[in-house]
Structure 1
Amino acid sequence: MMMDKQIEVNLNALPKEILYRIFNYLDDFHIFCTMKNVSIYMNTIIDQYHRYKILTTLQLCNKKLGVEQIILVANTLKENQIVTTLDIGVNEFGDEGIYYIANALQKNQTLINLCLQLNKIGSQGTKYLANSLVQNQTLTRLNLHYNEIGDEGAKYLANVLQQNKTLIRLNLIHNKIGEEGTYYLANALKQNQTLTTLYLAENELGDKGTEYIANALEQNQTLTILYLAKNNITDIGAEHFGNILKQNQTLVTLSLKANEISSQGAEYLADALEQNQTLKTLNLKWNKIADEGASYIAQSLYLNKTLNFLDIRFNKINENGKNHLTNVRNMKFPLKLIF
């Protein structure tokens, strides 16, 4: 936002003590964006202002920022060396706004955490981001949940994951990613050596997409946290994960909640738990596991030595299955087993 020349002159004439008093009444957005780059004098004063000097987290979520405001954020971000976390989620500035943020990321060298949730970002906006992440070497966390990147956007991110060596956490929850997009992401996981956390919940992976991810985990040696909740995964998908969990030695947390896994799928996972030595957290809540499946899980827990949290609530488990789970819970302290 350009200031009137008369106002600019007046501000430049004010001593820093008066300017500091003015700044005290401004919110972070105006201190960060509208007061910077007015003049060399103002930049010097802002750089010395205590709130600006400690502004490592810029929280602009749900502030009704349009493209014009996002341009101001992006312009300051190019030069800022203080902010490490930027949350501009829930503003709905779309692909046009993300273009400017992506451009800033090519120059920024301090931001490590970027939250872009609920901004109507599509495949084109994802392409802008992906291109910037080829050059950016500082961002470690990217939150894109509840956008609209789709399979094409997933492909762009997959391409960059094969090159980027800094991103460790990627949130793609609820982004209309199907089998095709999962295929690209899975191929990237086979090569990527830095990503440790991947959220793919509430997409459209299905059993085929689950197979792609499971196969990728045969080669991937860095992913420790994987969320696949609400993806229409059936017993077929559970079998794919059962097979890979017998081999994988890095995955620590796996969420398969809110899927279509029955007792048959529970048996596949139970067989894997008897051999797996790294998984610590497993979420099977809101599936279709009945007493038989609960019995399989319970028996596997007697042999498993690493799992310390299992959520199997809201399935189809009756008294018989609950008795099996109760018995193993009583014997396997400190295992937290909730059902």
Structure 2
Amino acid sequence: MAVKNFDTSTARPSTFNRQNPSLATLPVEVIYRILDNLDILTILISFRNVCTRLDSIIDDYHRFKACTKLDFTHEKFDEQSLHDLIHGLENNRTLKELHLRCKKIDDRKICCLSNVLRKNTTLLNLILSNNLIRSKGAQHIADLLNENKMLQKLDLGWNSIGCDGVFYIANALRDNHILTELCLEINNIGNQGVEYLSDALRNNTTLIRLVLSNNNIDNEGARSLADMLEQNQSLTTLVLSENKIDSNGVKYLANALYHNEALTRLNLRLNRIDSTGAQYFADALIRNKTLVELHLGWNQIDNQGAEAFANMLNYNRTLGVLHIGYNKIDCQGRQQLTDAILKAQSLVDLHLASYNRNI
């Protein structure tokens, strides 16, 4: 049978040969409708860095532009999702605050995250507490602090950085002029780690809040911090709760308050301070004109310490908050403090909770 000639140039293309639509070719309005049905995490993980056109569309998408904070606290990431999230942060220009308290970030992942964020120009707050970061990871974070020119708040609490890791962080603080808040609670940095930080902060002019709770710091560490406070004039908040500082360590800190004109909040909750330490602070606060909040709750201060603070209130015109609850102060000491408050011109908040609610 003869076969007729067929002109393929005029033939109608078959359905099979038509170009299939893709995210790279779909109209913008259609892509927006797809994005409307996805959460921000899915967009960040699955849609970013697919192609230049899609990134440009997402950058202009109203929900993505408005997303300045992502909180993945206790998020159950698998290995691939966490990798994709870090990759999705590349070239991000909207996030100002990122929380990754997920118990998944180890030294290797910190390396990847730090590399992504080194040139970031928008992120201000990075929360990495409750993870698996050790000294090698701290080194990567220090590299980040050396290059990033935007990060202001860094939370590394509840990790395992240790004094070796803090060495790297401290060295970064010598040249970093951006970071204002640093949290290192529960990292077992000890007195040696405190010494590294204190040396770095003597001339630092930007860090205003330092949290060192529960780090096995004793009087030696308190002495290092006191020496730093005599020179540093930018740190306004120092948190040393749940350590091993007794009244001998307090003596160093109190002496620093005679010279320091920057510190406004000092927290020594749950240490080993007795009334001798209270007397050291009371004497210093007669002259100090900057401290507005002192937290000494859950220590070993008795009526003698209460009397020292009561006498101090006759002279101090700056202290606004005094926490001395859950000590060994009974009715007599409480009455002395109450009488002093009635005459005080500055103290507006006194915390005097006791173990025995009938006292």
**For this structure pair, what is the TM-score category when the shorter chain's length is used for normalisation?**
over 0.9
Alpha-carbon deviation of 1:72?
2.5
Q: Aligned in 2, Cα 1:67/1:320: closer, same or farther, shift over 3 Å?
A: same
How far, CA to CA, are the matches of 1:334 and 1:194 in structure 2? Answer: 28
Q: Which has the larger radius of gyration?
A: 2
Q: Bigger shift: 302-311 or 53-62?
A: 53-62
CA contact (8 A) 1:260 1:288 kept: yes
Structure 2 residue aligned with 1:249: 261
The alignment's TM-score, normalised by the length of structure 2, stands at: 0.89
Q: Aligned in 2, Cα 1:179/1:197: closer, same or farther, shift over 3 Å?
A: same
Gaps of 5+ in 2: 1-19, 353-359
How far, CA to CA, are the matches of 2:257 and 2:338 in structure 1? Answer: 25
Of the three residues 203, 220, 229, the one matched with 1:208 is 220
1:45 partner letter: I
Of the three residues 124, 132, 135, the one matched with 2:147 is 135
The structure in which a higher percent of residues are helix is: 1
Deviations 1:108-132 (A, max 9, x none): 1111110101011111111100012
1:337 partner letter: L
Matched length? 332
How far, CA to CA, are the matches of 1:16 and 1:314 in structure 2? Answer: 62
How far, CA to CA, are the matches of 2:319 and 2:289 in structure 1? Answer: 8
Q: After the TM superposition, which residues 107-146 of structure 1 pair with which residues of structure 2 at under 5 Å, given as runs?
A: 107-146=119-158
How far, CA to CA, are the matches of 2:55 and 2:81 in structure 1? Answer: 19
Alpha-carbon deviation of 1:12?
2.8
2:191 partner letter: E
1:322 is the counterpart of 2:330? no
CA contact (8 A) 2:319 2:346 kept: no
Secondary structure of the 1:129 match is: helix
Alpha-carbon deviation of 1:77?
2.5
Secondary structure of the 1:313 match is: coil
Secondary structure of the 2:151 match is: coil
1:23 partner letter: L
Q: Bigger shift: 13-22 or 121-130?
A: 13-22
Of the three residues 59, 70, 81, the one matched with 1:47 is 59
Deviations 1:172-217 (A, max 9, x none): 1111110111110010111211101000111111111011001101
Alpha-carbon deviation of 1:17?
2.6
Structure 1 residue aligned with 2:179: 167
Secondary structure of the 2:154 match is: strand
CA contact (8 A) 2:317 2:346 kept: no
CA contact (8 A) 1:75 1:104 kept: yes
Deviations 1:130-162 (A, max 9, x none): 012111111010011111111111111110000
Alpha-carbon deviation of 1:265?
0.7
Secondary structure of the 1:198 match is: strand
How far, CA to CA, are the matches of 1:70 and 1:155 in structure 2? Answer: 28
Q: Bigger shift: 72-81 or 162-171?
A: 72-81
Structure 2 residue aligned with 1:223: 235
Alpha-carbon deviation of 1:47?
1.7
CA contact (8 A) 1:105 1:133 kept: no
Q: Bigger shift: 271-280 or 19-28?
A: 19-28
How far, CA to CA, are the matches of 1:68 and 1:165 in structure 2? Answer: 35
Q: Aligned in 2, Cα 1:67/1:127: closer, same or farther, shift over 3 Å?
A: farther
How far, CA to CA, are the matches of 1:122 and 1:186 in structure 2? Answer: 21
Structure 2 residue aligned with 1:30: 42
1:296 is the counterpart of 2:313? no
Structure 2 residue aligned with 1:338: 351
Identity %: 38
Q: Bigger shift: 13-22 or 323-332?
A: 13-22
Structure 1 residue aligned with 2:285: 273
How far, CA to CA, are the matches of 1:315 and 1:128 in structure 2? Answer: 42
1:147 is the counterpart of 2:140? no
CA contact (8 A) 2:317 2:344 kept: no
Structure 1 residue aligned with 2:272: 260
Q: Aligned in 2, Cα 1:155/1:190: closer, same or farther, shift over 3 Å?
A: same
